[in-house]
Structure formats: structure tokens, C-alpha cells
Structure 1
Amino acid sequence: MNKITDWQLYCILILLTMPVALLEQPHRLIQIAYNNAWLTFIPVFLTGAGLVKIYDLIIKKSREPFPVLLDEHLGRIIGRILGSIYIFIFLLTCAFNLRLFLEFMKMMVMPLTPLSIFIGAILLVGFIVIKTGLAGVARSSEYLALWGLVFILLVLIALIGNFHLERIYPIGYINFKNYSQGVFAATLILGKMMPILTLAFFLADKKKATGVMFKVLLTYVSLLAFTAFAIIVILGTYPALNYVFPTFNMIRLVQIGNFLQNLDIVFVAILIQGILGAVLISWWMACFTTQKVFSLKDHRFIAAPTTLIIGVLALIICRNNLEVVIWSLDIMPLVFMLFFIIIPLLICIICLFKPDISALEPADSKEILHSQEAVG
């Protein structure tokens, strides 16, 4: 059975939550809370911690990883039906992440380049990595997440010289409804950590998954809050409202000293890596879930047929820029809420009435080892 380290799990969860959030979250939150968008992340420490505890309880009360734990807690019939639905949800999430990136490239970087070129390049690399198994996915995530975090941190520090702090005022003048919507929108992205219900079982000690999730929560809140704050004090609230991707417009203003500028091309390169990671992990989850739901021997051969499904979905779910915005603001949040938060919450409630599984019997351990050895 393949094992992953705590650091690899952290990188995987960062790739699931951060790259797409950096593109779409600032625009969404500024639309809701205007110049107070950055303040919506303060309560996310609490709401995110609640979500972490939900996942943590499910992991502690389960003997096997998702989607097999659906059978364990909901019964075989409901578990298999839900597992089949989750296969499509993971593929849809993967396709939407890819389409959002394609729209960004078409609007901001290379408007005349056919979408099929971007789709083909990302899916080809993703297919090669998935064929190597979870070990390849984990190693790729280490590289992709590390470079992305370092670059974003350096860029945000370099932007401090462009701050116009007067643009942040007035602070706190926001009605409760809008503030609640902002907190809700910021929390939804953390639902993308839901694959932890599978990945935690590949740690040497699954109890360490809780600490990793809290580290991801801290990283997410800190970076996204500072990014939203930087956009407001650099671009201004109302100019930022007119940008679909205000993060990219902000990064175009970065200058380090008097000699290093035009870092937007570096941002695009890092973003490509981040989107590749986000697509890759959702894709692997779809393949692994398919293996478990249909009791297949391996998941790696599933990468080939799902490549076509993801590519077609990425093209047909949105016909134009407006539909991409509608999916980002309305449809995908509902998907995340139902499948990544509400259903895990219901499973968590069921788990409350079950004993802790602090240690598995030897027979159970052998059964889990047999069920996971094909993942390599």
C-alpha cells in the first residue's frame, strides 16, 4: 500500500483549494462585500474549523476510505448510488476548474489560441501523472504547491509599495446579510478538502490529517484575506468590480526595485501549475471512486476514458464568458455546498452514534491493505 507524508497531503489540499480561489474568490467577495471583502475571512477561521472537525470525526469513525465509508455508514445501496454520483461530481469539478482556466487564458493572455490546445496539454500531462498512481500525484503536488506558495508570497510582499490605504475606508459598514453571504462564499471553497476522507487513510497515521487540515485552513485564510485586501487598496473597490480576474490585473502592477517588472507572465506559469494540480487531484479522486464503487482491480486504466469526458465537459458546460461567471457565482457553490459540506455533515451526525475506531483488528487491517494495494 502506498503511503503519503503529511507534507504531501498539505500540498495536495493546497492545490485543491488555492489556485482556483485566487482567480475567482476576490471577484466574488468584492461583488458581495465591496471594500470589506477582506473582513469576510475573519469568521472563516471558525466556520472552517467546524468543517475540519466534521471531516475529522468521519475519518476517526470510519474503517475504510471514501467512497467505501459511504457503504459503512449509509448502507450498501445508498452508498453505491451516492458513490456513483460523486464520480460525476469529481469530473464536473475537474472540468469546471479547467474551463475557468481556459476562460482566463482566452480573456487575459492568449485570446487567439484555440481552447483545444490548452485542454490537450493539461489533460496529457494529467493523464501521464495519474497513470503513475497516487505516489506520482503526491510527488507532483509537492513541486506544484511549493513553487506556487513561494511566488504568491513574494508577489504580495512586492505589492506593499503600491498600497493606497485610504481606499479601504469605510471599514465595517456592511449589512449582516451581505457579510454572511461573504463568509459563506469564503467557507465553501474549503469544502474542496473533502478528498481528505480518502487521502487520510494513506497517511502512516490518519489522526495526523486533522493537523494538516488546520494548517491548510490557516494558509487559505491568510493568503486570501491579504489578496483581497491588496486588490482593494491597489486597484480600488469599484475598478475591481469591473474585472473578472482582479488578481491578475493587480499582479500586472508589480515592480521589484526599478528593474524587475511585468511579472504577469510568471504568474501565468505558476497558475498553469496550480490549475494542473487542482485538475489532477479531482481527476484522481474520480478514478479512485470509480474503482471502489464498481469493485475494479485498479484505477489507473480509468484515466483514459475519463480524459475524453473531462475535455468534452470543459467545452460544453459554458458557451461564453457570462456563463462561466454564472457557474462560478451560482451553480458550483451549490454543488460544493451539497456534496462537500451537507452530505459529509449528515454522515458526521450518523457517526456521532458510533464508537471510535482507535485501533483496527488484524483482520480488518489486512482487508484495508488488500483494498488499497492497487492504488500504487
Structure 2
Amino acid sequence: MVKITNKEAICIAVLFLLGSNIVIGSGMDVQNDNWIAGIFGFAYFVPFAFMYARIQALHGGKDLPEIANHLFGRVFGFIITAVYTWYSLHVGALVLRNFGEFVKITTLTETPLLVIMLSFSVIIIAAARLGIEVMGRLSTYALPLVVLILVFMEAMSVSQMNFDFVKPVFVHGFQKIARAGFSAFTFPFGESVIFLGILYSLKKRESAYRIYMTGMVISGIILVTLTLMNIFILGPVEGDFYFPSHSSFSRIRLGDFLQRMEGTISVSYAITCFIKASVCLFVACKGIASVFGLSDYRFITIQTGLIMTYLAFILYKNTVEMENWVINVYKYYAIPFQIVIPLLIWIRAEFKNRKGKRPKKSEELEINGGEQEEAGNEF
């Protein structure tokens, strides 16, 4: 079985959680309090991170379809596998469409959207076909590059910042900010439920806790910092931009020789979207292979990748619909996948684990009988 190290898994987790969010944000609508909503989203996710990790720790070496079949039997296990196969495919399509819209609006304005997405899907399909081990190795090189770019660009943008834009803090009230934080929970943190489809490859089952918590902390710090930077530069209207980080970086000027630096965020965005979409396609292919009883998921990576690309193409009519989905719809759509079904899986897993630890009645009788016999012999 292919195994990945903790370092590789953490790098995948961070890049996965950054995904589309480093450019389009988390769909929060509380303006200068968006950074606080991001912290709320982080806090909401903590118990679910432990829940996801616990599910994996109880089933070391098993992927999501195997866990579902083990806990619920073939019929209900089949249904759960099919549901998460769809969710992985859909999230991958969302990432691909977000990237396609970004490239078309900011760079290749005359290029058809489908051509952009097909071109990007080629490397996504290749990565999924090569497997999670290759993605892990790529991530260990890609993450330092992404972090370096973001840190450098944030340092260069200090001269453009107005720290008064963040005031007054909590102007939208606790309740509204807390509700906005739920958007940050579902997108991106809750999407890490898809990791149940890849963490079977960890060398130690207990490592799942470390992967979830470390990945969540690193990505959370990066996203909150980016949100603050966008507020400092763009002001309270930060939420009015489709791609706020790109708009912020485009304003960086260091004399006459260093300006128009938004291309650097495009590089980071391409890397994070590539890793996230590749993981989603990999998990979707594994799920389809399990549903149809295929021996190897690699036989269907090209077909599934093309389906994901077509799905991405028909998701929205335009960028306005895409933004409306992120802000108003996705947080409710994600609840069954990120909260309800994982909660049922966890409860069933704990019940079955405790039941498995109890000695059977026949074993208890044998033990008691043996003890009585020994007592009689001593007498």
C-alpha cells in the first residue's frame, strides 16, 4: 500500500484548505469584520477536526468507502460512498470553475472559459492518476513557495495599508459576525472531510489528529492574515471585489521599478487550486471504483476528470452567479456532507468500537468457569 509521511500529508492539507480562498475569500459579508468571522470559522471547525481525525484513527488503513461499508453494511455503505463521491467531484468542479473564471477575467480575456479549464484539467488528471504519494511529494516543494510568495507580497504591501480601515471592530455585532463565521467554516475548513478519502495512506493512524490540527492552524493563520491585508488596503469594500487578494496585490508599488505584482498571487492560486482539485478528483475516482467494483481507479481518471470539467463549465452562467453561490447557498448545501453524515459515521464508529472491546458472553462464561475450577482445586 502507498504510504505518505506526516510532513507530506500536512503540506497537502494546508494547500487544500488554502485552495480558492487565497483569492476569492470565504464568502463572508461583514466587511471590515471579515477577519473576525474567519477566526469564528476556525473555532467552529476545531471539534469537527477532532471528529474527522477520530473516524480515521478508528479505521487505520481504510479509506472512506471501506469505512462506510464496515460500519453500515453494503447497502448504506454504498449510499454513503456515492454521496461523498459526488461531493468530492462537485468540490473539484467548483475549484476548477473558480480558477477558470479568475484566469479569464484577469489574464486571458479572449480565451474561451472551457479551453482554460480543459488545459488546467490535464495536469489535474495526471496528478490524480499518479496517486496521492506524488501529490504529497509535490506539496512539500509547493507549500514553501506559496508561503514565501504570500509573506513577500504582504511585506511589500505595508506602504499601501491604512490600518484605520479595520475600525470600528465588531461594528456588525456579535450575532451577525458569528453567522458569517459559519461561511468560513464550511468554506474551506469543513471541506477537509474529503481527507477521509486519502488519510488511509498515513503510516500511523494516530497521525490523523496531527494532520488536521496542524493543517488547520497554518492555513487559518494564512487566510486570516490575507483577509486583514485586504481590509487594510481595500477598506470596508473588500467584500465587493470578486478577487480581493488580486486587487490588493495589483496596488503594490515600490518606486517606479516594482509594481503590478498581482501575477505572483496568480502563481500561488494556481498551485493551491491544482492540489485541491487533484485531491478531489483522486477521492472521486476511488469512490467510483468502489461503487462499481473496479480493481484500479486509474482506469477512470481521464473520464472522471472530463466529467468534472464539464460539470465545472455548466455550474454557473457567469461570475455573479458564482459569487452568489459562495455567499448565499454553499454554506447550507455543505451541511449534510460536512456535519450530518460525518456525525452519524462517528457515532456509529464509537458504538462499534466499544462493542468490539466488550468480551462475548461465551468468553465470560469460560473465564468464570475457569476461575471457579481453579478455586475448587485450591480448596
Q: TM-score, normalised by structure 2?
A: 0.87
Matching residue within 111, 114, 139 for 2:112:
114
The equivalent of 2:17 in structure 1 is: 17
> What whole-Å deviation, never above 9, does each CA across 1:97-133 have from its counterpart, x for those lacking one?
1111111122222211111321121111122222222
Change (3 A) 1:247 1:89: same
Tell me which amino acid in the other structure corresponds to 1:70: A
CA distance in 2, matches of 1:277, 1:60: 24
Counterpart residue number, 2:376: none
Moved more, 193-202 or 241-250: 193-202
**Partner in structure 2 of residue 210 of structure 1:** 209
Counterparts of 1:17 and 1:66, CA distance in 2: 19
* Deviation sequence 1:64-98 (CA, Å, 0-9, x none): 22121111222221110121122222111111111
Counterpart amino acid of residue 281 in structure 1: V
Q: How many residues align?
A: 355
In the alignment, the residues of structure 1 paired with residue 19 and residue 89 of structure 2 have an alpha-carbon distance, to the nearest angstrom, of 17
1:252 CA drift (Å)? 0.8
Letter in 2 for 1:211: R
Q: What amino acid sits opposite 2:20 in the alignment?
A: V
CA deviation profile, 1:309-331 (whole Å, cap 9, x unmatched): 11211111111122111222233
Does 2:181 correspond to 1:183? yes
Contact 1:144 1:277 in 2 (8 A): no
- Work out which of the residue numbers 47, 52, 56 in structure 1 matches 2:53: 56
Please say if residues 57 and 351 of structure 1, whose CA atoms lie closer than 8 Å, have aligned partners that are also in contact: no
State the match for 2:166 in structure 1: 168
Task: Name 1:95's counterpart in structure 2.
Answer: 93
**Mean Cα displacement is larger for which, 349-358 or 162-171?**
349-358
**Residue-by-residue CA offset, 1:31-65 (whole Å, 9 max, x unaligned):** 2x221111123334432211111112211222522
Counterpart pick for 1:159 among 157, 160, 176? 157
In the alignment, which residue of structure 1 is the partner of 2:65? 67
Alignment of 1:36-55 (within 5 A): 36-55=33-52
Q: Give structure 2 stretches of 5+ with no counterpart.
A: 358-379
Q: Verify the 8 A CA contact 2:23 2:269 in the aligned structure 1.
A: no
- Change beyond 3 A, Cα 1:103–1:176: same
Question: In structure 2, what is the Cα distance between the partners aligned to 1:269 and 1:173?
Answer: 35
| Amino acid paired to 1:204 | K
Contact 1:91–1:283, Cα closer than 8 Å, also in 2: yes
Task: Kindly provide the CA deviation profile for residues 288-346 of structure 1, in whole angstroms up to 9, marking residues without a partner as x.
Answer: 11222322111111112112211211111111122111222233333332212321122
C-alpha separation in 2, matches of 1:325 and 1:121: 23
Query: d(CA) in 1 for partners of 2:33 and 2:124?
Result: 38
2:289 alignment partner AA = Q
CA displacement at 1:258 relative to structure 2: 5.9
Distance 1:117 1:358, change over 3 A: farther
Q: Which residue pairs with 1:267 in the alignment?
A: 265
Q: Deviations over 1:245-293 (max 9, x none)?
A: 1111001122457633221122212212221111111001101112223
State the distance in 2 between where 1:50 and 1:280 align: 26
1:327-366 C-alpha deviation (Å, 9 max, x unpaired): 222333333322123211221122232327999xxxxxxx
Letter in 2 for 1:193: S
SS of 2:351 mapped into structure 1: coil
| Aligned partner (choices 317, 333, 346) of residue 344 of structure 2 | 346
In structure 2, relative to structure 1, the CA distance for the partners of 1:117 and 1:251 (3 Å cut) is same
The residue matched to 2:19 in structure 1 has which SS?
helix
Change (3 A) 1:201 1:256: farther
The answer as to 2:226 corresponding to 1:224 is no
AA partner of residue 56 (structure 1): A
Match of 1:198 in 2: 197
Using structure 1 for the length normalisation, give the TM-score.
0.88
CA distance in 1, matches of 2:277, 2:338: 17
Contact 1:15–1:278 (CA under 8 A) maintained in structure 2:
yes
CA distance in 1, matches of 2:52, 2:212: 9
**Matching of residues 133-152 of structure 1 within 5 Å:** 133-152=131-150
> How far apart are the structure 2 equivalents of 1:262 and 1:223?
22
User: Which structure has the larger Rg over C-alpha atoms?
Assistant: 2
**Shift in alpha-carbon separation, 1:316–1:3, aligned structure 2, 3 A:** same
Q: How does 1:225-244 map to 2 (within 5 A)?
A: 225-238=224-237, 240-244=238-242
Alpha-carbon distance in 2 for matches of 1:330, 1:357: 42
Q: Which whole-Å CA distance do the structure 2 matches of 1:134 and 1:254 have between them?
A: 37
Decide whether the 8 Å contact of 2:40 with 2:178 is kept in 1: no
* Paired letter, 1:5: T
Cross-structure match for 2:361 = none
CA contact (8 A) 2:128 2:282 kept: yes
Letter in 2 for 1:346: L
Partner amino acid, structure 2, of 1:213: Y
1:205-354 pair list within 5 angstroms: 205-238=204-237, 240-255=238-253, 259-354=257-352
Q: Distance in 2 between matches of 1:201 and 1:19?
A: 22
Matches of 1:36 and 1:207, distance apart in 2: 36
Identity of aligned residues (%): 23
Letter in 2 for 1:242: D
Is the CA contact (8 Å cut-off) linking 2:125 and 2:305 kept in structure 1?
yes
Report the Cα distance in structure 2 between the residues aligned to 1:355 and 1:53, rounded to whole angstroms. 17
> What secondary structure is seen at the aligned counterpart in 1 of 2:353?
coil
